[in-house]
Structure 1
């Protein structure tokens, strides 16, 4: 595993920007795959994020942005 995968907030941010970059390159299938796997990871580890209240707002905002990007890619 890479170094950024040990910090959940870093993994989420990296996945968001990778998905955004794929979308801008019109590689929609890759963007959908990246964003959906990141959202699935966030759904599975929701209890981990609730204990870190200082990061909770950032993670929730990033989640909403990922859902919006996923909706754009699916349309």
Structure 2
């Protein structure tokens, strides 16, 4: 069985460039020249840092899903 992976996406239309994600998970996010966040890799291993970055995004621009099933990891279904 393959190890779990996460697909990370930033909605650049929502991103306000606060940099909180890059501060929370510098190995997973960076701000580009336009001061918008981008994931450093489309898929990553699950980590508390990536989840914290998504949770602390002030405009909820970060989504995390499982690439094999499409199941949403964040934001949670409410």
TM-score by length of 1: 0.31
Q: Which structure's residues are more often helix, by fraction?
A: 1
Decide which structure has greater strand share: 2
The TM-score with structure 2 as length reference comes to 0.30
